[in-house]
Amino acid sequence: MERLKKRSDYLIVTKAGQRFATPAFILQVYHRTPEDPARVGFTASRKVGGAVERNRAKRRLRALARQFLTPLACQGTDYVLIARKEALTRTYALIVEDLQKALMTLNKRKKT
């Protein structure tokens, strides 16, 4: 799975994509052409905490994406995971359930 690196890509996902909020993160999804590869990006605002806390939250989200998002990702889709303060304290098992619920909901929206 490729990474989103340019600010312009993040802005497109934010403006045109769908979103699903959980206690630990916000998942934003933007569907592009099916031939393109799936891409993922991570971000955390200062509301999460200082640099150490933001980096820890993003590391948890990267591990989550590597383990669970990569096999479930649709071709031609951009995913952005925005960390929330709860990402630091919520158990990993609950974060996994949140991601699975978010993906099921957003995939249903895509089909309709």
85 burial type by CB count under 10 A (0-12 exposed, 13-18 middle, 19+ buried): middle
Would you state the structure tokens that stand for residue 66, as one six-digit string? 């590597």
Which CATH code, of 3.30.420.10, 3.40.930.10, 3.30.230.10, 3.40.50.1980, is assigned to 2-100?
Answer: 3.30.230.10
Own/partner contacts of 9-17, CB < 8 Å, gap of 24 or more, are 9/39, 9/41, 9/78, 10/41, 10/43, 10/80, 12/78, 13/41, 13/78, 13/80, 14/80, 17/78, 17/80
What pLDDT does 94 receive? 96
Q: What residues does each domain of the chain span?
A: 2-100
What is the tens place of the pLDDT at every residue in 88-111?
Answer: 999 999 999 999 999 888 877 766
In this predicted structure, the answer to whether residue 45 has a pLDDT above a threshold of 90 is: yes
What pLDDT does 29 receive? 94
Rounded to an integer, what distance in angstroms lies between the CA atom of residue 2 and that of residue 37? Answer: 7
CA 103, distance to chain mean position in Å, is 10
What is the tens place of the pLDDT at every residue in 9-43?
Answer: 999 999 999 999 999 999 999 999 889 999 999 99
